[in-house]
Amino acid sequence: MNRNIIETFDLTKRYKLKGRNKDIFALNNVNISIKEGEVFGLLGPNGAGKTTMIQILTTLLNPTNGYAIIDGYNIIKNPKKAKAKVALMLGSNMLYYRITGYDNLKFFCNIYNVPNYKEKINSMAIEFGLEKWLNQYVENFSSGMKMKLALCRTLLLNRDILILDEPTLGLDVKSISFIVNILKNSNKTIFLTSHDMNVVEKLCDRIAFIDKGYILKIGTKEDIKKLIQSEIKIEIKIVENQEKLKYELNQQTFINEYINTKEGFIISLKNRKYYRDLLLILGKFNILKVKEIDLSIEEMFLKIV
């Protein structure tokens, strides 16, 4: 069993806003644990507390209350050792646009004391398709290239824990797929925030939903799907007697709604436990197709929040 490599205990960050008596909670008693090697996604709308969480975990910000343990080190009592375990990527920030890509990577390798950095930079640049651009000023890079360079920088630091804030923000499908593949094969513990549900779905072992500083749900993709899909949608394609079936289903109390489609309809089942009852009815008809419609994480997120 993998050990917990990131743990937070009642992590709270409170802000006092100008002209307001009430405090605003960016984080409110957040308790999460992430296992070694796990990819953990934090999803939430703007202002939910995602970036605050990252800033606290990387010791950029002190919590008002609570603490976190990073690979055995308390971020409050031992911030130096805690932050030495992580590599942080804040989108395409943290790059110097006015020097070249190579100079950026070289600078951070020297600061982080990375051995044989020249070879590592060159091989990573080839892997990321940046070799032709490496000696150009970063200000001339496209958004995708900046993001790739930022990821190069993060991976070169050779830390076991990657903390990534919006690693695919504003990128096209090809670049997103490239970054997802790189991260999937990195064999690191990854804590990431993203707005891109597809990225989270493809990449993360577990997902937490956060809003207004509260963690609303934590679980695997499947857990969350199960939880959300207490009401499920089912697509039914029927060869004949469509109206008869519709009439029969209409008599049932466990069906919430019908949506007509070209070859049949989509029904909304109140709860998964009525699946058997539904199948008993469907068995009387010449059914072409019965398919449960998967909720995307985006739909799940909207449901939860």
Partner 1 sequence: MINRKEFKKYLLQIKALTERNIKLKLRFKYNLIISLISPFIFVIMPLIILSQLFEFDTQFGNWTINNFLLYQFLAYNIFLLKNIISEFPNQIRIEKFWKTIPSLIIAPLNRINIFFGIFFSHLILIFIPFTIFFIICYLIYPISFFTIISIIVIFLLIALIFSGIGLILGIFAISNENILGILVFIIDLVFWASCITYPFEIFPKILQEVISLNPFYYIFDFLRATWIEDNIISTIILHPSNFYILISITFIVPITSVFIFNKVYKKFGIVGY
What does the binding site for partner 1 look like in residue numbers (CB under 8 A)?
55, 58-62, 80, 83-84, 86, 88, 90, 93-99, 103, 106-108, 110-113, 137
C-beta of 7 vs 165, nearer to partner 1: 165
Shortest distance in whole angstroms from residue 222 CB to partner 1: 34
- CB 83, min distance to partner 1, A: 5
Q: Which is nearer to partner 1, 60 or 266 (CB)?
A: 60
Decide: 194 and 43 in contact? Cβ < 8 Å.
yes
- 11: CB partners within 8 A, 6+ apart: 27, 29, 30, 31, 53, 56, 63, 65, 66, 67, 68
Q: Cβ 271 to partner 1, closest distance in Å?
A: 47
| Residue placing its CB nearer to partner 1 in the complex, 8 or 92 | 92
Q: Smaller CB distance to partner 1: residue 106 or 221? A: 106
Q: From CA 278, how far away is CA 137, in angstroms rounded? A: 63
Bridge partners of 68? 8
CB-wise, 46 or 253, nearer to partner 1?
46
Closer residue to partner 1, CB minimum distance, 49 or 264: 49
Q: Are 103 and 96 in contact (CB under 8 A)?
A: yes
CB of 86 to partner 1, least distance (A): 7
Q: How far is the CB of 62 from partner 1 (least distance, A)?
A: 7
Q: Smallest distance from the beta carbon of 150 to partner 1, in angstroms?
A: 10
CA–CA gap between residue 100 and residue 110 (Å, rounded): 15
User: Minimum CB separation from partner 1 for residue 189, in Å?
Assistant: 17
**CA 57 → CA 38, 60, 201, 214, distances in Å?**
16, 8, 23, 16
Q: What counts of helices (H) and strands (E) characterise the chain?
A: 11, 15
- What lies within 8 Å, CB to CB, of 139 at 6+ separation is 97, 98
Planar angle of CA 158, 30, 164, nearest 5 degrees: 25
Nearer to partner 1, 117 or 301 (CB): 117
Q: CA nearest 215: which of 15, 56, 9?
A: 9
